[in-house]
Amino acid sequence: MKTIGLIGGMSWESTAIYYRLMNELVRARLGGVHSAKIALWSFDFDEIAQLQHAGDWEGAATMLVNAARKLEQAGAQALVICTNTMHKMADEVQAAVSIPLIHIADATAEAIRAAGASRPILLATRFTMEQDFYRGRLADRHGIIAVTPDSKGRDVVHKIIYDELVRGIVTAPSKDAYLGEVARLRSQQEADSLVMGCTEITMLIGQSDFDIPVFDTTAIHAKAAVDFALA
């Protein structure tokens, strides 16, 4: 079994889900008391969030690159960035190490295509919904066109992530707000599926809430890491 290096703490709420899912998957596949070989670097998310909202992506990239190098030195044989948004720095992180980075958008795209979908709704942080590093990768590499809420809707989705989900707060009104955004986009944009493009969103909504395919990027990414580890 290969050792996976997790760059986490962004937030720790979703990193804990990654850790649980990866260990559950390894146990399910190998049986007994097997568990995943994991090296974890966990940030103080407040430091990362301040850089994000200040637009200091260069500073954030430096922090992720340093973490990636330390994980490689610790014996990691592949890297997982435990957040969609910070894949904005994926190229810089990959260039800084000699081990592969398992990209969350690529793993998600494979799941979307396998389900026969091509026009998913993307709910995520404002950074992921508005910038090209994620939607552009889906389109350019995989032919998948992601649709996002309007400006007001993006504000709502983003605010719930940072004011509630990264703090472990899950409320019925916020769930209703997300369900409303999905319903609007399905009617207005002819979307055929939903990507939960922030790793904390799995705390709030899931497949049982919808009659279209739902792609949980946290679960998909964790599975891709275990597939690599056990190959």
Residues tagged active-site:
83, 198
Residues 4 and 37 sit within 8 Å (Cβ to Cβ): yes
Cα–Cα dist 178/171, whole Å: 11
Q: Give Cα 182 distance to the centre of its chain.
A: 18
Cα–Cα dist 85/87, whole Å: 5
Alpha-carbon separation of residue 172 from 164, 178, 204 (angstroms): 12, 10, 9
The token pair at 92 is: 């810089």
In the three-class reduction of DSSP (H, G, I as helix; E, B as strand; rest coil), residue 193 is classed as strand
- Tracing tokens 């399905």 back to the chain, one arrives at 186
Residues 105 and 134 sit within 8 Å (Cβ to Cβ): yes
